[in-house]
Amino acid sequence: MTNTAKDLRGTTFTTPTYHAGGQEVALFEQAWRNQLPVLIKGPTGCGKTRFVRHMAARLGRELYTVSCHDDLSASDLIGRHLIGNGGTYWMDGPLTRAVREGSICYLDEVVEARKDTTVVLHALSDDRRILPIDRTGEILQAPPEFMLVISYNPGYQNVFKGLKPSTRQRFVALRFDPPEAEREEAIICAETGIAADSAKRLVTLANALRSVVGQDLEEGPGTRLLISAARLMVSGVAPKMACRAAIAESLSDEIEVTTGLMEVVSAVFADQ
């Protein structure tokens, strides 16, 4: 069965296959059926966004994805009045459109947004399931099919950027971690067609680098970086060069750190 979903422009796309590592698929489905919002937390590149895209297609719901950033405001989510040839008119934001349509709204890295953004989610993420639109006076009641999903990377949280308990405790939470070695190797092979031995080496490299997180690295390589390196290797790029471009240089801008990472790469791919 082909999984499809739609982006913010209404363009239909094929959803990538998701390799489940536990009960996350069943838990997400039950959260949707019980009209519960979901919080997904995990490091960069561990498959959070891919999972949500997969689940939207699996449930047959359109997906509105918003990549949160420092300038994202509540108006960007809810909507605003605009001026056109016929005068002033209202344009719904992605959150409002998702509520009206009974779609899934996914706020990726929600802690990056301005504080007033998370406040507007409170009435939607408790038993009221409403979205007040102050500018128009509307109060939208979310249909049963609507679902709110947010994600963040706990490793990047600090006193200034983090979810308040009053927000976090409104959500069913799923924790995503890097896959265990055999599963990660299978994912890389399935996504890129690379040989099993090379996939095993990439995972060995990743786990070696993940073991030094907190020393020279803020965060270890996610599966996404390993897939990028594998794709380069499959296309003919030498393994060490592929790992430098897709992994080492992506993890740090410090020359000394990058040099140290490449020493690990050279040890893993010593014969190549």
Provide the pLDDT for residue 87: 86
Q: How large is the average pLDDT for residues 1-11?
A: 46
Ordered DSSP codes for 184-250: HHHHHHHHH---HHHHHHHHHHHHHHHTTBTTTBSSPPPHHHHHHHHHHHHTT--HHHHHIIIIIHH
User: Which amino acid is located at 160 in the chain?
Assistant: F
pLDDT band at 9 (very low <50, low <70, confident <90, very high): very low
Q: How far apart are CA 74 and CA 168, in angstroms?
A: 18
The pLDDT tens digits for 41-82 are 998 888 899 999 999 999 999 999 999 988 898 999 999 989
Provide the pLDDT for residue 84: 81
Provide the pLDDT for residue 21: 80
Q: Which residues contact 244 (CB under 8 A, 6 or more apart)?
A: 258, 262, 265
Q: How large is the average pLDDT for residues 256-271?
A: 95
pLDDT at residue 251 greater than cutoff 60: yes
Q: What are phi and psi of 227, to 5 degrees?
A: -65, -40
Answer yes or no: are the C-beta atoms of 63 and 56 closer than 8 Å.
Answer: yes
- Phi-psi category of residue 95: left, alpha or beta, with phi > 0 → left and psi -120 to 50 → alpha: alpha
Q: How large is the average pLDDT for residues 80-105?
A: 92
The alpha carbon dihedral of 127, 128, 130, 133 has a sign of negative
Provide the pLDDT for residue 19: 83
Provide the pLDDT for residue 242: 98
Q: What are phi and psi of 175, to 5 degrees?
A: -100, 130
Q: How far apart are CA 234 and CA 231, in angstroms?
A: 5
Q: How large is the average pLDDT for residues 231-251?
A: 97
pLDDT at residue 257 greater than cutoff 90: yes
Provide the pLDDT for residue 13: 52
Percent above pLDDT 70 for the chain = 92
pLDDT at residue 118 greater than cutoff 90: no
pLDDT at residue 157 greater than cutoff 60: no
Provide the pLDDT for residue 45: 87
Stronger pLDDT, 85 or 92, i.e. the higher one = 92
DSSP 10: -
Q: What is the CA radius of gyration of the chain?
A: 21
The alpha carbon dihedral of 82, 86, 90, 94 has a sign of negative
Q: How far apart are CA 218 and CA 105, in angstroms?
A: 29
Provide the pLDDT for residue 159: 42
Provide the pLDDT for residue 3: 45
Q: How far apart are CA 220 and CA 207, in angstroms?
A: 8
Total-model pTM: 0.86
The pLDDT tens digits for 128-149 are 999 999 989 999 999 999 999 9
Question: Which of helix, strand or coil describes residue 47?
Answer: coil
The pLDDT tens digits for 198-239 are 999 999 999 999 998 878 788 899 999 999 999 999 999 999
Provide the pLDDT for residue 167: 87
